Amino acid sequence: MLSGPYLLYIGDAPDELSIKSSRGMAQWRPEACVGQYRAPGSALTLGLPDMGFQQAKAAGAQTLILGVANAGGVMAEGLTNDVLAALAAGLNVASGLHQKLAATPIIAEAAARLGLSLFDAREPSEPMPIGKGYRRAGRRVLTVGTDCSVGKMYTSLALERELRRRGVKADFRATGQTGIFIAKSGVPIDAVVADFIAGAAEWISPAREDGGWDLIEGQGSLFHPSFAGVSMGLLHGSQPDALVLCHEPGREQMRGINGRALPDLATCLAANLQAARLTNPDVQAVGVALNTSKLAPDAARALCDQIAGELNLPCQDPVAMGVDQITDRLLACVAS
């Protein structure tokens, strides 16, 4: 478990995508974030007060979150030095990088000497079981996508918030490092051995008898050659009652694969429904979530209306428009 409040790390990250974990924390758990740490001259910001490590500790921060990503997920010398400085100031450190804090001797030694904690979000907390596909009690939504990084986590969190606002029990189930930071729990699916991905999804969303919903954060895409395996494992292990399809309009190619186009929405949705029926034959599509951040508001709303008409499903941008219509369809599918 992470100990809050938090100082969010930007450092010398080069662009917005490289600080998506820190930005996710600032967006969804702002009350737990006291400030941001960034290198001199950095133009990136989370809209939080700039703080040094000692200043953040004095302001009540307990943990520095390394909410950054880089090629290979490694800790270069500058980042390592910042972690050591944060530990020296009395802060615990949490990281979503592939290179583990606890496996870096100089960092592990400093944390042990100072009696501070290290948290590696990409380290499963315990061995995962093999998935069985047995029907279990409870209600589950899985977010799926046309590509990576199209808003599956944001959509899941928005649905959790809307359901809770309506008095419905709902819990976000994190499967990526950013989601784990936000939820303070979860399974880093990309660090789970392939045979156990479905079992990890079963483990993270066990049977529940309270009438509530698990909102399971999807990963990858069935149509992405690099990550279709994890997407399939989540579809089977989540045993979803409902799917929400996530998409970023205007994206011309799969992330990281030049020249490979994204699937059209209808084809993508049909493939996900077919795969999900292995463990829940009654699964339904309940909506489409768009990331319209690159569109003007009028164009975004017109596109949502167009897609809603074509697919006969509510279509909204969870950040700009909310998810009230998608939630209406979700609750209606249970009542029917």
Among residues of the chain, what percentage have pLDDT more than 70? Answer: 99
3-class DSSP assignment, residue 152? helix
What pLDDT digit, counting tens, does each position of 105-164 carry?
Answer: 999 999 999 999 999 998 887 889 999 999 999 999 999 999 999 999 999 999 999 999
| Distance between CA atoms of residues 2 and 185, nearest Å | 9
Give the distance from CA 17 to its chain's centroid. Answer: 13
Q: What pTM does this model have?
A: 0.92
Nearest of 266, 269, 217 to residue 28 by alpha carbon: 217
Contact yes or no for 130/199 (Cβ under 8 A): yes
Class of domain 139-335: alpha beta
Neighbours of 106 (CB within 10 A): 11
Q: Is the peptide bond before 127 cis (omega within 30 degrees of 0)?
A: no
- How many residues does this entry show for the chain? 336
Burial of 333 (0-12, 13-18, 19+ CB in 10 A): middle
- Is the fold of 6-120 the same as that of 139-335? yes
Contact yes or no for 266/223 (Cβ under 8 A): no
Q: What is the mean pLDDT of residues 89-106?
A: 94
HSE, CB side, 13 Å, CA atoms: give it for residue 130. Answer: 2
Query: Does the pLDDT of residue 316 top 70, yes or no?
Result: yes
Q: What are the structure tokens assigned to 156, written together? A: 């899941």
Least confident span in 11-25, 66-80, 251-265, 276-290: 66-80
pLDDT given at position 71: 63
pLDDT given at position 196: 96
Nearest of 232, 227, 245, 210 to residue 329 by alpha carbon: 245
pLDDT given at position 15: 87
What pLDDT digit, counting tens, does each position of 126-141 carry?
Answer: 889 999 999 999 999 9
Q: What are the structure tokens assigned to 28, written together? A: 């969804």
What pLDDT digit, counting tens, does each position of 178-208 carry?
Answer: 999 999 899 999 899 999 999 999 999 999 9
Nearest of 76, 15, 65 to residue 179 by alpha carbon: 65
Among residues of the chain, what percentage have pLDDT more than 90? Answer: 87
**Domain residue ranges of the chain, discontinuous segments joined by +:** 6-120, 139-335
pLDDT given at position 73: 74
Mean pLDDT of the chain: 95
Any bridge partners for residue 245, and if so which? 144, 288
| Distance between CA atoms of residues 84 and 109, nearest Å | 10
pLDDT given at position 1: 66
What pLDDT digit, counting tens, does each position of 44-62 carry?
Answer: 999 999 999 999 999 999 9
Residue 328, Ramachandran bin (φ over 0: left; ψ between -120 and 50: alpha; else beta)? alpha
**Cα–Cα distance list, 224 to 160, 253, 260 (Å):** 27, 10, 9
pLDDT given at position 43: 93
pLDDT given at position 74: 79
What is the CATH code of the structural domain delimited by 6-120? 3.40.50.720
Contact yes or no for 175/189 (Cβ under 8 A): yes
Q: What are the structure tokens assigned to 229, written together? A: 């395996």
